Chain A
Amino acid sequence: MGAPQRVIDCQGLTRNFPSGRALDHLTLDAGRGEVLALLGPNGAGKTTTMRLLNGVLLPHDGTAQVLGLDPWRQGEELRRRTGVLTENAGLDERFTALENLEFVGHLRGMSSSEARARGRTLLDRFDMGHRADVKVQGFSTGQRKRVALARALLHDPELLFLDEPTSGLDPAATRDVVDLIGSLAAEGRTVVLCTHFLGEAGKLASRMAVLFHGVLHAFGTPEDLAAELWSRFEVRLDLGAPAAPPLIAALLALPQVHDASPTDAGALVFTTERADVPRVVATCVAHGSPVYGVDPRDPNLEDVYFAIEARAGAPATAAGEEVPA
């Protein structure tokens, strides 16, 4: 078996607006069945990327192939095979949930009966079946997102673009939508997830592209990016009391330890890698310090994101402010 088939492959994608450059030579790819998170604050260029890749906007520079098609010359064919959840659910309030789906079904070449049957199935799946024939006007944000997600899946797309799927949702609705997206990815669809919520990206994405002001600053798995950013491994030791100076000195004397300092409950030690932890624990025990707990900590997505932000010199952003549990 070769490498996974590329669903998205773009090189040097650039787009300007009168207000300035929205996307600056973006190069990235995504494989079949992958969840790719486009991370960044508002105005980073995530939505512009999504619009470019779906052939809605034209680039000023760069090339792309999406599902083997040229998005700008074969946009109609491409959009038949993609589904999009826009940031605003984009439902017409004058229609019922099912009518909203039916309209899209017609434009995707489905008959009324076909669109309605498929629409009901999807609304049932997203727990909105009981509101299928109710006008959207009174729906909550979460209910709208569910209906819009059902609409995006009406034609069983191979590639899904989800733009801020959880914005405006309460924590319970966020969890539900994240679970739904997880189940879609598990079915083998490729998902491009534009978000500034790190929690959902962390749960769903296999790779992430971090954008600031239209520029790609990092692209890869969180682990790869963490390895690129940190050469040290953090271990928090619970010793029941602050580590005594002789113990700190002994830890610092170990060749694998880069740094060690006392904390209220023990010590914070930075080693080269995870395999160094037993030696650190052994040193503590040898110095008569009981070890009640060891907390080796890999950098999480939030750490990675903010480190990239700091490296990019981007100003403090909204990203990461709301991290769903």
Chain B
Amino acid sequence: MTALPAEPDRRADRAGIDWSAVRSIVRRDLKAAGRSKAMVLPMLLVPLLMLVLLPMSVGLAAQGDRLDPTTFLTMVPEQLAAPVSRAPQHEQLVILVLGYLVAPLFLIVPLMVSAVLAGDAFAGEKERKTLETILHLPVRDKDLYIGKLLVGFVPSVAVSWIGFLLFCITANLSAWPVMHRAFMPTKLWTLMIFWIAPGVAAVGLGVMVRVSVRVNNTQEAQQLGGAVVLPLVILAVAQTTALLLAGLVPTFVAGCVVWAIAIWLNLRGAQSFTRDRMAARL
């Protein structure tokens, strides 16, 4: 039996996204995450360690004469050694470590943050027994899914961008006595942070949200999701430095590939996500 709606849909047409509902979900989940030390601490400490303390130590270490990367440069691939070797010797340590070697960390951070938050998206709701209440609310499946995606995406991108800003400030300040100039950010770094890092976060989300839908608690989501995300982390670590050496166009193209994978994963996830499937697993 089918009848006409008793009242018109006030907030969104059938095809569009109800941003009001999406905003409510994002706001509520971020507020909740902000109150959970178990979620906030890893999201703050790891970026702080990797993106602030590490460049600070490298900058300070470069000010002494004891660390000479010459021997190390003989052990790395020629493509990496060449641009570093062309720099004055006292700048080589800073350029090698801060300019190239820490780059993978900027892809690990968004992956990690998105994995922590997205793992909680549906599995956490099931664990807290709050999911059924949400399913009984007038939120469309699509809006619920997008809300949960954004809960992971927005903070992961924010953390990596803010982390990058802090990284640039710390690296330039701590290495100023050596470099005598602001050497970060470069065009390649900017492209990587603003184009590839969000794409990597979206790939992580695509995996983790789907895992979160299928499992019953956050721990399971992290374990199963970790098994899928870990190879991505290794891939990211392996390829990032190479991208910085490859130039702007290959980096942009690599970003396009990452985004294509992310969009495919998330569209598939959204299509397969239904209220009925969620309720049937309660």
A-side residues, CB < 8 A to B, are 9, 17, 51, 54-58, 63-65, 67-70, 73-77, 79-82, 84, 86, 88, 90-95, 103-104, 106-109, 148, 151, 161
Q: In the assembled complex, which residues on chain B have CB atoms less than 8 Å from the CB atom of A51?
A: 279
Q: Is the CB of A76 within 8 A of B35?
A: no
**18 extra interface residue pairs, beta carbon distance < 8 Å, beyond A57-B279, A65-B1, A84-B136:** A9-B1, A51-B279, A55-B275, A68-B3, A69-B5, A69-B6, A73-B2, A74-B3, A74-B5, A77-B5, A77-B138, A80-B138, A104-B133, A104-B137, A106-B20, A107-B21, A107-B139, A108-B138
Contact A107 B1 (CB under 8 A): no
Pairs of residues from A and B, 8 with the lowest C-beta to C-beta distance, nearest first: A90-B133, A106-B24, A84-B136, A79-B138, A88-B129, A80-B138, A58-B276, A77-B5
CB of B239 within 8 Å of the partner chain: no
Does B65 lie at the interface of the complex (its beta carbon under 8 Å from any beta carbon of A)?
no
Q: Do A88 and B132 form a contact, CB below 8 Å, given A51-B279, A56-B279? A: yes
Shortest C-beta distance, B29 to chain A (Å), equals: 10
Is residue B86 contacting chain A, with contact meaning CB distance below 8 A?
no
The complex places the Cα of A109 from the Cα of B24 at a distance, in Å, of 10
B135 on the A face (CB < 8 A): yes
Residue with the highest number of chain B CB atoms closer than 10 Å, among A64, A69, A82, A91: A69
B133 cross-chain contacts in A, Cβ below 8 A: 84, 86, 90-91, 104, 148, 151
Beta-carbon contacts under 8 Å, B8-66 to A: 9-11, 20-21, 24-25, 27-28, 31-32, 35-36
| Bound Cα distance A88, B132 (Å) | 9
B130, A92: Cβ atoms under 8 Å? yes
Across-interface contacts of A90 in B (CB, < 8 A): 129-133
B136–A70 contact, CB under 8 A? no
- Chain B residues contacting A58 (CB-CB under 8 Å) are 276
Residue on B with the closest CB to A106?
A: B24
Q: Which residues of B contact A55 (CB under 8 A)?
A: 275
How many interface residues does B have (CB within 8 Å)?
35
Which of B5, B128, B132, B275 touches A92 (beta carbons < 8 Å)?
Answer: B128
Most buried by B among A73, A84, A90, A108: A90
Q: What A residues does B1 contact at CB under 8 A?
A: 9, 63-65, 70
Say whether, besides A58-B276, A79-B137, A84-B136, A109 and B10 are in contact (CB < 8 Å): yes
Using known A-B contacts A77-B7, A77-B9, determine if residue A91 contacts B130 with beta carbons closer than 8 Å: yes
Known: A64-B1, A74-B5, A94-B36. A86 touches B28 (CB 8 A): no
Contact B276 A57 (CB under 8 A): yes
26 cross-chain CB contacts under 8 A: A56-B275, A56-B276, A57-B276, A57-B279, A63-B1, A67-B6, A68-B3, A69-B3, A79-B137, A80-B7, A80-B138, A82-B136, A84-B133, A90-B131, A92-B128, A94-B32, A94-B36, A95-B31, A95-B32, A107-B21, A107-B137, A107-B139, A108-B137, A108-B138, A109-B11, A151-B133
Contacting pair A17 B280 (CB below 8 A):
yes
Asked whether any CB of chain A lies closer than 8 Å to the CB of B90, the reply is no
Task: Identify the closest chain A residue to B3 (Cβ).
Answer: A68
A17–B279 alpha-carbon span in the complex (Å): 11
Are B128 and A93 in contact, with the CB atoms below 8 A?
Answer: yes
Which of chain B's residues have a CB closer than 8 A to the CB of A161? 136
User: How many whole Å from A17's CB to the nearest CB in chain B?
Assistant: 6
Cα distance, A75 to B275, chains bound together (Å): 10
In the complex, the chain A residue whose C-beta lies closest to that of B276 is A58
* C-alpha spacing A57/B141, complex, angstroms: 12
